[in-house]
Amino acid sequence: MSDEKKESGELAVAVTLDRCKDLSAVSVTVAGQKLTLRGDAFVGAAIPAGDHTLELTCKGYVPQSVPVKVGAGRANKVEVSLPKQPIVKLAKASKSYVDGEGVTFQAIRDVDIVIEDLPAVGEFLSILGPSGCGKSTVLSLIAGLTEATTGEVLVNGEPVRGPGPDRGMVFQNYSSMPWLTVSQNVEYGMKVQGTPAAQRRERRNQLLERVGLSGHGKKYPKELSGGMRQRVAIARTLAVSPQIILMDEPFGALDINTRMDMQDLLLNIWHQEEATILFVTHDISEAVYLADRVSVFTPSPGRIADEIPIKLDYPREQKVKSSSLFRRYEGQLIERIHELSASVAKGAEVKLSI
């Protein structure tokens, strides 16, 4: 055995990616040497004997630094798992605006949000708070429509630099393009992306049926009710299969019956599309009914004062709103919002629970 082999060893690193078997995007380095993927392991020869640190990276996954001891003259084996990055992460995110008179207004301050990329159906987060507290600003930051003044806004571990097809947004105001038919509105995003016509038609028909608008494809938005227009907006957003759906009070202008119908439609779509949803609302009952977690914002500048997990089983029906557990969540949120409003009215410091 040569002196070099006596002072070095082979290293094989078996890597497991959360919910992915394709290892081609993984990078593994140790002692300045990049290991080579062979089969289901990353292999390196002539690694200097001794203590080292493995560095593993892969887009969309949390980087890992793993201590490893390489024995001289022998094959060394290590197993490492890479967890997924949070699908959405805001870290100390703040946003300020300057008005026409040069006065600075801070919309949100030091907002921290972490939404994990859950297997199967994603998380449904409701954001609840008073008017002007920065709820919509948070969605705009994630959508890439504006940039944070300070702090980080990450999607799948990458800084948000602008809008992208992995994020779709539904607004409160009816946002369908009035000069396009329902079918053309739904197909628009796919057409921009260059999706072949046959695939566009298939996806369009699937979504129109899913949102209850089959037979309305040739109509224009002006011929539809408010609830139907929001169904078009939802279908158009879903057409490009975004991972993240951002909804800014989408049902705020609807009557109570239509609103309940849209809530149930959204829950069904959420499970079918397996997306992550961030939903801004003023309505406490709506926040509890839809979400599996509710973030409560302080008055401006908005900060997260509390986060309340909602332990109601899915699928949910409107009758759950009369249950004692549902009313308990409503009461908890009402009390917390009242405390925040009272603190602001008195000029007292707002107490954050997280």
Query: pLDDT (tens digit, 9 = 90+) per residue, 317-326?
Result: 999 999 999 9
CA–chain centroid gap for 55, Å, is 27
Task: Spell out the domains of the chain, with CATH numbers in brackets.
Answer: 3-82 (2.60.40.10), 88-166+242-346 (3.40.50.300)
Torsional sign, CA 149, 64, 244, 185: positive
pLDDT of res. 348: 56
- Residue 1: the pLDDT is 47
CB 334 within 8 A of CB 347: no
Distance CA 143, CA 140 (A): 5
pLDDT digits (tens, 9 = 90+) for 289-304: 999 999 999 988 999 9
Percent of the chain clearing pLDDT 70 (strictly above) = 95
Residue 157: left if φ>0, alpha if ψ -120 to 50, beta else—which one?
A: left
In a 10 Å sphere around its CB, with 0-12 CB exposed, 13-18 middle and 19+ buried, how is residue 67 labelled?
Answer: exposed
DSSP string, 229-241: HHHHHHHHHHTT-
User: Where do the H-state alpha helices sit in the chain?
Assistant: 3-6, 135-143, 182-192, 197-210, 226-238, 256-273, 284-290, 324-346
Residue written as token pair 């919002």: 337
Q: How far is CA 160 from the centre of its chain?
A: 12
Q: Is the pLDDT of residue 197 over 50?
A: yes
Taking the C-alpha atoms of residue 340 and residue 354, their distance in angstroms, rounded to an integer, is 14
Rounded CA-CA distance 90/151 in Å is 8
Q: Please report the pLDDT score of residue 350 as a whole number.
A: 64
DSSP type of residue 303: -
Residue 17: CB atoms within 10 Å? 17
| Residues 87, 181: Cα–Cα separation, whole Å | 33
Question: Structure tokens of 190?
Answer: 């796919």
AA identity, residue 263: Q
Find the mean pLDDT for residues 29-35.
95
Residue 13 pLDDT more than 80? yes
pLDDT tens for each residue of 74-98 = 889 999 999 999 999 999 999 999 9
Full-model pTM: 0.87
The pairing of beta strand 50-57 with beta strand 27-30: antiparallel
Eight-class DSSP state of 61 = B
Summarised one tens digit per residue, pLDDT across range 89-131 is: 999 999 999 988 888 999 999 999 999 887 777 899 999 998 8
Q: Summarize the confidence of residues 36-56 as an average pLDDT.
A: 94
Residue in 80, 149, 164, 187 with CA at minimum distance from that of residue 301: 149
Q: φ and ψ at 289, to 5 degrees?
A: -65, -40
Report the C-alpha gap between 6 and 3 in whole angstroms.
5
* Mean pLDDT confidence for 258-272: 93
Cα dist. 310→95, 124, 170, 195 in Å? 29, 10, 23, 39
User: From residue 243, how far is each of 128, 171, 309, 320 by CA, in Å?
Assistant: 22, 17, 22, 28
With residues binned 3-state (H G I as helix, E B as strand, rest as coil), the percentages for the chain, rounded to 5, are: 30, 35, 35
